[in-house]
Amino acid sequence: MAADILRVTTPLTGQDPATRVRSNTQEPASTNINNVINPNRVPKTDSKGLYNDQETNKFSPNLKSNFDAFLQKLANTPGMSMEAAKLFFTRYGSIVNAGMGEGIAAEMGKYLEMMKVNDTELLALLKGMQSSSVKFTGDFFDVLRNLMSNKNISTDAKSLILDFLKRYDAITANSHSLENIMSNLNNIADRMMKSSAEQLRELVSTLDTTSGKGNVAENLANMRENIIPLLAKYISQTKDYGSVRDNISLFILNFTRYEMGSKEAFSDALNSLLGIPEVASKVSNSMVAELVDGIFANIPGDHAKVLQDQLVTVLTKGLDGQAGYQNTQVFQNILQSALLNESVYMPLLHMMIPADYNGKQMFSEVWVDPDSNERNNNEGGNAVKLLVKFDIKDLGFFEMIMLVQNSKVDMQLFYPEHLEPMKSQIKDGIFTIVQRNDLKFRSYMADKCVQPKPISDVFPKLFEGRNMVNVTV
């Protein structure tokens, strides 16, 4: 009977009907939990299925891609220039007066002092920001792009071009790779036992941070002979497979990139590239000289890089709460905006230009499409489209959309509402600047800036990413 009660065996015929196994007419609740609002608490299950958020096609899941997430963040994240202006123009005084955090006010003041530029320095700053934003520019790389888009190019030629591009990227990023390596090693030391951590920090201090581009041999030898054996010994002894090993993996990735950026490896890759007949026939000696000079030109104290490094210092301290935790969100917004504009999905050149020019502090942000689809077929040459946002202290927020083709300009300018009485004066000034630069207006429109325009509204090219593979992680 025990077996019958437990329903392990089939009930015997003629037994009390109460003992019969009856089918359960109530459907079990769905275990598919879709909309978890609080990850620390499991709410009541709902009946929403995987396909409910897709109206047009219910036969396949509507899973958002990484590109969709990028567009959504781009639409919701405030601009870098607006957030920087908010921080330095509005909140800087309260941070200084409150004395929040040791050093944060001083670092912000140092950044504001670095912003002061004259005419020559402002032009150099613009060029520095442009060169730091895009490396693969110029006639030399235009030749390589045309060759790579040619369906008739051989597989060997493509392979040599790609190898050269890897070497070029690595050698131009030598300093950045070394900084990442030192950061990785210091993070490892923070997580190691004290005696090993002290040894590692001592070895890190022996790395040469002043070596020029391509001069990586000495640092590589130091890491191979001293640092890597120390890390290997530590892992074998402690069996630490946690955060130490994770940071070692990051160190190895940066080590590999640093190793690829040697001067000898770059020279070999360039010579192999110039040995391709298709390349040799289109690349002049002046193009090669300009490329090499651009890599190895020694520009000590480059203003653009110094400004960027100082902003990173300010952001680091701000994110640690040294400017008051009520201001942390502003620092996060600036950082997120910077990362979004460096995304692989961003097809535009992006620059953030801080300047104190003729006593006027300004934070400006520029997006450039060097080959806009909005070109006029009746005009010659490529069309360049720009979106410029700039916030001037005590004056307000401006926005400008400009299309330039064949020295002709289409412009839309949006200015602060309180400058409406000066509309004609603004127009005269703009026309003078355009004519001074040998340009002509094809169209001009000016109006009050009611609300800043999303980047995606100005550059429909952003949505071309939807034509790529829809990847979801």
- CA 378 – CA 381 distance, rounded (Å): 10
Q: Name the residue type at position 402.
A: M
Gap between the Cα atoms of 408 and 429, Å rounded:
17
Q: Is residue 98 part of a domain?
A: no
**List of the chain residues with pLDDT < 50:** 1-7, 48-62, 300-301, 472-473
- The CA distance from 223 to 227, in Å, is 5
Strand partners, 122: none
DSSP 213: T
N residues, the chain: 473
What gap in Å lies between CA 260 and CA 167, rounded to an integer? 6
Among candidates 386, 376, 373, which has minimal Cα distance to 455? 386
The CA distances from residue 326 to 231, 251, 331, 410, in Å, are 40, 35, 10, 42
353 & 458 share domain: yes
**Total domains in the fold of the chain:** 2
- 248-275 per-residue burial string, b: 16 or more CB within 10 A, e: under 16: bebbeebbebbbbbbbebbeebbebbee
Entry pTM: 0.63
Cα(185)–Cα(314) distance, rounded to whole angstroms? 23
Residue at 467: amino acid letter: N
pLDDT tens-digit readout, 156-179:
888 999 999 899 888 888 888 888
From the centroid of its chain, how far is CA 282? 33
Q: Is 277 inside any structural domain?
A: no
∠ CA 111-328-37, rounded to 5°:
150
Structure token digits, residue 290: 């300009």
pLDDT value, residue 202: 93
Residue where a domain terminates, one of 234, 260, 286: 260
What's the confidence (pLDDT) of residue 2? 46
Residues 77 and 339: their CA atoms lie apart, in Å, by: 11
Residue 367 and residue 459 in one domain:
yes
Q: What integer pLDDT is reported at residue 6 of this predicted model?
A: 47
Edge-to-edge strand list for the sheet holding 349-357: 116-117, 349-357, 360-369, 383-392, 396-405, 408-415, 440-448
Phi, psi of 394 (to 5 degrees): 65, 5
Q: Do 348 and 457 sit in the same domain of this protein?
A: yes
- Tell me the sheet residues that pair with 396: 392
Specify the residue for token string 């002092």.
Answer: 113
Residue 62 inside a domain? The answer is no
| Nearest residue to 339 (alpha-carbon basis) of 143, 154, 73 | 73
Say how far apart CA 120 and CA 108 lie, in whole Å: 24
Helices and strands in the chain: count of H runs, count of E runs = 20, 7
Exposed / middle / buried, residue 453 (Cβ in 10 Å: 0-12, 13-18, 19+):
middle
Contacts of 130 (CB under 8 A, 6+ apart): 349, 351
From 260, 291, 323, give the residue that closes a domain: 260
The verdict on residue 238 lying in a domain is yes
Determine the pLDDT at residue 409: 93
Contact of 61 with 53, CB cutoff 8 Å? no
Domain boundary among 245, 260, 275: 260
pLDDT digits (tens, 9 = 90+) for 398-454: 999 999 998 899 999 999 999 999 999 999 999 999 999 889 999 999 999 988 888
Kind of pairing between the strands at 349-357 and 396-405: unpaired
Amino acid at residue number 192: M
For 215, list phi and psi in degrees, rounded to 5.
-90, 75
Asked whether the beta carbons of 197 and 205 are under 8 A apart, the reply is: no
List the Cα angle 165/171/174 in 5-degree steps. Answer: 140
Residues 6+ apart with CB under 8 A from 11: 4, 19, 20, 21
Q: What is the DSSP letter of 9?
A: S
**What is the C-alpha to C-alpha distance for residues 401 and 404, in angstroms, rounded to an integer?**
10
Question: Residue 28 has what DSSP assignment?
Answer: P
- The two tokens of residue 193 are 């036992």
By residue range, what is the domain housing residue 205?
174-260
At residue 379, the pLDDT reads 75
Question: What span, in angstroms and rounded, lies between the C-alpha atoms of 155 and 142?
Answer: 19
The two three-digit tokens of residue 336, written as one number: 């997120």
Assigned domain for 283 exists: no
- 255/349 same-domain check: no
Q: Any residues with CB less than 8 A from the CB of 99 and at least 6 apart, and which?
A: 105
How far apart (Å, rounded) are the C-alpha atoms in residues 395 and 358?
14
Tokens 């890759």 found at: 269
Residue 300 forms part of a structural domain: no
In a domain, 407, yes or no: yes
36 domain-assigned: no
Cα-based distances in Å from 80 to 63, 73, 84, 341, 353: 30, 13, 6, 10, 10
For 473, the enclosing helix (H) or strand (E) is: none
Burial track 114-150 (b if 16+ CB lie within 10 A, e otherwise): bbebeeeebebbbebbbeebeeeeeebbebbeebeee
